[in-house]
Amino acid sequence: MEIRQAAQEWVRRILAPREDLRWEHPLPEAAAKEILALKKESGFWALSLPEGEGGAGLSLEEEAAFWEEAHTSPLGLYGRSLLLAGEVPFPLQKDLSFVRETLKEGRRTVTWLLSRPFQEGPHPVLVPSRWDWLFLWHPAEGGVLLSKEGALLGKKLEPTMGSSFLLELRGDEQGDTFPPREEGDLWVARQQILLAAGALGAARRSLLESLPYTQTRQTFKAPLSQRQAIQWLLAASAKEMETARALLGQAFRDPLSYGSLAKAWAVDVALRAVDRTIQIFGGSGYTKELPYEEYWRELRLYRHLLGDHQEVLKALGQKEKASLLKEAKP
């Protein structure tokens, strides 16, 4: 896929040389601006917006491939906001002035899935290090779009274990509202799929970088890779990642049914894979010298993003129970 190669090239040329910036929280303004300008210049801008409307017009598969590749650098993680810049949430794509501003200024709009109607706050929301707008979506109630100023009024952001912040919305903030529509649900499912692909990108880098290390690191006069205790860790990660990819493939075909499943599973698989890599690298893995500890801290956020993990499992469990009882003979 051409997009994959272009995305790899983009990561190699733009993100990889700047990887030391990961020690800075948030990214220095100048560096963030420079990266965004380069992102725009490379055409990775408004990825899902049709080409005729100033976007890149990528298919979901292509956009996911970009997210996966971008996640092979910690700078591409969600909390860093780089991937959000220049993207227009689907239900807002008809709002031409919003689209124009987004395309021009690289607006960052955070999508957050509400588990109960907005008015029934409070809602603990995790926002990335830099953002401009907050788009809150509830499948039955529709959406609310809040500007950063409107959302923050009278509140403060609380730090987290990663580069994101906790913001507690009361539910009485003023913003534009949107009626419930399938395209809103589809946007959420799309974002879930992108997060799944991103998580797998981080997992892939973690697993693959541990391979040469296990082959060169000697313990008791043999490389780590000859130890079954280590081989088992590698096999477990590879196996789980393959299942997550299979589920991701299913989500591409049926985003509304499988998007949340693909995300929940891929994120968990990635967290475990990254954790195994930290274990394989030992003390070095635990330090910030290597990117894996950051991957773990940042990916942990994905469990709450766009479908809190517990909520996804609960909904899936309810649906499955109903289906199993229906199929069971009386």
Counting residues that bind another protein (by CB under 8 A) gives: 56
- Judged by CB under 8 A, the chain residues 245 through 264 that form the site for another protein are 245-250, 252-254, 257-258, 261, 264
Evaluated on CA atoms 230, 233, 236, 238, the torsion sign reads negative
What is the pattern of x (binds another protein, CB under 8 A) and - over residues 286-325? ------------------------x-xxxxxxx-xx--xx
* Per-residue x/- track, 184-223, another protein (CB under 8 A): --------------------x--xx--x--xx--------
Q: Which is nearer to another protein, 64 or 110 (CB)?
A: 64
| Amino acid in position 287 | T
The C-alpha atoms of residue 83 and residue 232 are separated, in whole angstroms, by 34
Q: Hey, what amino acid is at 59?
A: S
Spatial contact of 87 and 48, defined as CB atoms under 8 Å apart: yes
Stretch of residues binding another protein (CB under 8 A), selected from 41-49, 98-106, 152-160, 234-242: 234-242
Tokens representing residue 132 in the block: 């401009």
CA angle 64, 32, 84 (to 5 degrees): 30
| Near another protein by CB under 8 A: residue from 14, 56, 64, 136 | 64
Smallest distance, another protein to C-beta of residue 91, A? 24
Q: Among positive and negative, which fits the CA dihedral 216, 15, 132, 268?
A: negative
User: Which stretches of the chain are assigned E, i.e. beta strand?
Assistant: 109-113, 123-127, 133-138, 142-147, 158-159, 165-169, 176-178, 218-219, 222-223
> Which residue, 152 or 208, has its beta carbon nearer to another protein?
208
Contact set with another protein (CB under 8 A)? 1, 4, 59, 61-62, 64-65, 204, 207-208, 211, 214-215, 225, 228, 231-232, 234-236, 238-250, 252-254, 257-258, 261, 264-265, 310, 312-318, 320-321, 324-325, 327-329
